[in-house]
Amino acid sequence: MPRFVRDDGPRSARLVLIGEAPGGHEDVRGIPFVGPAGQTIARWWHSVDLTRRDFYITNVYPYQPPNNRLAAIPKSEIADWTVKLHDRLAALDDPWLIVPTGNTALRALTGKVGIMKHRGSIYEYLDRNGRRIKVIPTIHPAATFQTPYHAKRCVRDWQRIAGDVDFRELRLPVREHFIRPSLTDVEDFVTDVEAQIMLPPGPDTVVGNILADPPFDLNEPEYDNPLRIEDRVKKVDDGAGGLVEQSVKFPVWFEPTWMGGTPMCGALDKGAEVVQHWVSEHAKGFPPIVIPA
């Protein structure tokens, strides 16, 4: 029979960490995040001046699942423990920020699905006492053992979490969306880009090429008379950390002039030629992967 793994940390903590379920090390010691995943997350905390003492730590499911497979636990049982999770959160003194790690924790806390889509975003959780609490999901540290490059994403998430724990309120980024930008808007944008990046002019560098040799003069009347207006769909911030689709009118002032004539296009064409020849010679083989550099 697996051991019940209790929550750990002060009930007065501003930060709450929610895991998915204990592993073998947690089953032995009876407290969460003390195995390899806990050691990994502790290194990320150290890099942003956080420690374990800053957290109240819990799991959605408090027992080690068979073969560490949470999918082996009946959904009804997970649902029962999800209710208890919300009860435990409501019993905390005054949490400011909750960090669900992984898909199971994200769904249990917010009902949202897909940790890669929601990680690093800021949401709001309304607990059973009516308290509004910030939520910033992140990837479970154990996922980086199979996919190491996720670690960089986790570090960025923890940098954001560390910056947000100093204040209670949600401070969502303020963004402006220009559907029909004026001449002044475009000039301001170009000025900002030039101030932030230095790109060498060239046909393979789109922004660099436009800045170095604009295809039209922003002071000419053609700016207000584009070649055509296209109906497009773009994703914009919904003000709550998510994205919504919005229909926009997109002005097109000129047609592409390179028409596949850049060195990169030539390299891709050559790669396609090599792959087609290889496939014709090895009809039953697995085609090679071409990565232009």
**What pLDDT, on the 0 to 100 scale, is given for residue 229?**
85
Q: Are residues 52 and 159 in the same domain?
A: yes
Q: Are residues 218 and 247 in the same domain?
A: yes
Evaluate whether residue 192 is within a structural domain. Answer: yes
Q: How many CB atoms lie within 10 A of CB 167?
A: 11
What's the total number of domains in the chain?
Answer: 3
Strands (E), the chain: 15-19, 55-59, 97-100, 123-126, 132-135, 228-237, 243-252
Element (H, E) at 223: none
Evaluate whether residue 68 is within a structural domain. Answer: yes
CATH number for the domain harbouring residue 118? 3.40.470.10
3-state secondary structure string across 80-117: HHHHHHHHHHHCCCCCCEEEEECHHHHHHHHCCCCHHH
Q: How far apart are CA 16 and CA 89, in angstroms?
A: 9
What pLDDT digit, counting tens, does each position of 129-173 carry?
Answer: 999 999 999 999 999 998 898 999 999 999 999 999 999 988 766
Q: Dig out the tokens for 66 from the structure.
A: 């068979």
Q: Are residues 156 and 191 in the same domain?
A: no
Evaluate whether residue 214 is within a structural domain. Answer: yes
Whole-structure pTM value:
0.62
Per-residue buried b or exposed e for 210-235, using 16+ beta carbons within 10 Å of the residue's own CB: ebeeeeeeeeeeebeeeeeeeeeeee
Evaluate whether residue 170 is within a structural domain. Answer: no
The two most distant CA atoms of the chain are separated, in Å, by: 78
**What pLDDT, on the 0 to 100 scale, is given for residue 113?**
92
Q: Are residues 58 and 189 in the same domain?
A: no
Q: Are residues 96 and 215 in the same domain?
A: no
Evaluate whether residue 3 is within a structural domain. Answer: no
Evaluate whether residue 25 is within a structural domain. Answer: yes
**What pLDDT, on the 0 to 100 scale, is given for residue 104?**
96
Average pLDDT per block of 10 residues along the chain, 293 residues long: 94 97 95 96 96 98 94 94 97 97 96 92 94 96 91 93 92 67 71 54 36 41 68 74 76 66 72 73 64 54
- In three-state secondary structure terms, 244 is strand
- In three-state secondary structure terms, 128 is coil
The position carrying tokens 């897909």 is: 114
**What pLDDT, on the 0 to 100 scale, is given for residue 247?**
82
Q: Are residues 160 and 23 in the same domain?
A: yes
Q: How far apart are CA 22 and CA 5, in angstroms?
A: 7
Evaluate whether residue 176 is within a structural domain. Answer: no
- Domain of residue 199: give its range: 183-252
Q: Are residues 143 and 271 in the same domain?
A: no
Q: Are residues 241 and 266 in the same domain?
A: no
Evaluate whether residue 90 is within a structural domain. Answer: yes
The position carrying tokens 């954001």 is: 160
Q: Are residues 114 and 36 in the same domain?
A: yes
How many residues are recorded in the chain?
A: 293
Q: Are residues 33 and 116 in the same domain?
A: yes
Q: Are residues 19 and 87 in the same domain?
A: yes
